Structure 1
């Protein structure tokens, strides 16, 4: 029968699926922003926006009283287009959420631990972004110097060659060279700005290029040829660096697995058999063994890191 309960159920399910697909895939109505419909009207910020603005303003005043904190340079090195007070506010929100989660689980200790996870993860994340950005700058350096040499050969000045690299290179090279160009335009010495960039990006190769430019400004010579030689040397060093990274990949992977193994096993035991780890939280011997294990893990991590890190 067409009106049997099975047919009605199938028809209802198909209709529901079709309705959901339509709601998801249907084009949204075009809405003109209120500032275009009523140009003289300034939209009223929500309560959440007002609270966030007040919190960031309070953080900014506190930072001004303390001076420039070390975290400000880390945010800049990481290439984040964000004010330092906004970043600190987001980290604080994460810490509050972690503390609330710990309290919901019924433990003040967990609340303290979860609250401290957000700043630690933020610091680690910034460090990873800084390392990746510095690595990209080092890999792009030989092409950047070759582009500068080509511009100098074409008859451009050194300032024009730097501006060409700033406009045609990829990030983060374009951002760093743009900063150099802007600093020189306001009167800062070029070599000083270049050396500051090499220190900021922790690039010994770029320091060579900056020294070569400084020597050329003092004694003269063919700067394009010098930059070509420096670029060739940096290119060969990058090839050796990639070869070393390839040969040490197995050791680095082994180090990561060995460092993560204790935490993975502990988490698995906490999920499958929590009572097995109960003696570690009772008495004095358990916490002492945990502290001893953490110390040995730190020593082993440093040992493994020194083993797979090769400097040349």
Structure 2
């Protein structure tokens, strides 16, 4: 009994000591984290809201899901200062607001349709912003290739050349190359850093440049001549893309005008005969006609955009 009591007391003391050490470590870590957040908030090169983003708890939960990770990657490609949690809340709030407005101004049947259009519009805006950023990045690729060629010809390593290009180029190329340089600084390989850049901003031109740099890094040879030729090719593709985009601008506008004309017709009809939308959507056939009409407008928009999409 005496030995059992001694072992019990000893185990209790050890558990108590571990508990005290755990509480002390937790308190110390929390204090250090708070001090780090305060230093980052006071830094002149960072915005004052660092570490105090809205909907932080929802954002952490959302990032653990597959949808959240995909949304985070898409937001990173757009360059917007918005977290997945903020985007989710803003989109949900906008959809709810349009639901109420459409139900009050048009008819109750149009509420869910307006909410779906709001969600589609939010993701369409992300795709547009992403494509816009990709276009800007593609326009900077000839200059990027030229800087890398000059730096390589001067005897600089590829890592140093990428860091120098990140400092000299403007956004978005400068920001994206800064991310690549940061990953290289913490131990990532050139293949991983450049591969993530190609996944974040997918384009044929960037894939060619990334492939050239990765192969040159693996082979260990000079890439000056390859980058010189690539610079000239990128300049020619840039001019060709500009001409194609100018020729197809009218078709692109038509794709957006046609659905807007349909919505405007509905609003005009309800303005001329007040309550006509309520009467039309109160029956099954009226609701079916509205759904079919919106579906046809959507198919027309998709087909026009598809036919006007030419990969150069």
Question: Structure 1 unaligned runs (5+)?
Answer: 1-52
Q: Does 1:299 align with 2:309?
A: no
Measured after TM superposition, the shift of residue 114 of structure 1 is: 5.5
Tell me if the contact between 1:78 and 1:126 (Cα under 8 Å) persists in the aligned partners.
yes
Q: Does 1:240 align with 2:240?
A: yes
> What is the aligned residue count?
260
Map 1:139-288 to 2 at 5 A: 139-274=139-274, 277=277, 280-288=280-288
Q: Secondary structure of 2:265's match?
A: helix
Match of 2:88 in 1: 88
Residues 258, 71 of structure 1: CA spacing in aligned structure 2 closer, same or farther, 3 A cutoff? same
Measured after TM superposition, the shift of residue 275 of structure 1 is: 5.1
Q: Distance in 2 between matches of 1:262 and 1:219?
A: 58
Q: Secondary structure of 2:149's match?
A: helix
Deviation per residue, 1:216-246 (Å, 9 max, x gap): 2233433122111112111111111111111
Match of 1:59 in 2: 58
TM-score of the two chains, using structure 2 as the length reference? 0.72
Match of 2:132 in 1: 132
Q: Distance in 2 between matches of 1:267 and 1:94?
A: 21
Q: Which moved more, 1:275-284 or 1:293-302?
A: 275-284
Measured after TM superposition, the shift of residue 199 of structure 1 is: 2.1
Q: Secondary structure of 1:274's match?
A: coil
Measured after TM superposition, the shift of residue 172 of structure 1 is: 1.0
Measured after TM superposition, the shift of residue 265 of structure 1 is: 1.8
Measured after TM superposition, the shift of residue 200 of structure 1 is: 1.5
Measured after TM superposition, the shift of residue 149 of structure 1 is: 1.2
Q: Distance in 2 between matches of 1:263 and 1:171?
A: 38
Q: Which moved more, 1:180-189 or 1:292-301?
A: 292-301
Tell me if the contact between 1:198 and 1:204 (Cα under 8 Å) persists in the aligned partners.
no
Measured after TM superposition, the shift of residue 201 of structure 1 is: 0.5
Q: Secondary structure of 1:170's match?
A: coil
Deviation per residue, 1:152-173 (Å, 9 max, x gap): 2233221221011111111111
Q: Distance in 2 between matches of 1:102 and 1:298?
A: 19
Q: Distance in 2 between matches of 1:192 and 1:103?
A: 50
- Where relative contact order (Cα < 8 A, 6+ residues apart) is larger, the structure is 2
Measured after TM superposition, the shift of residue 144 of structure 1 is: 1.0
Q: Distance in 1 between matches of 2:108 and 2:287?
A: 18
Tell me if the contact between 2:99 and 2:114 (Cα under 8 Å) persists in the aligned partners.
yes
Measured after TM superposition, the shift of residue 176 of structure 1 is: 1.0
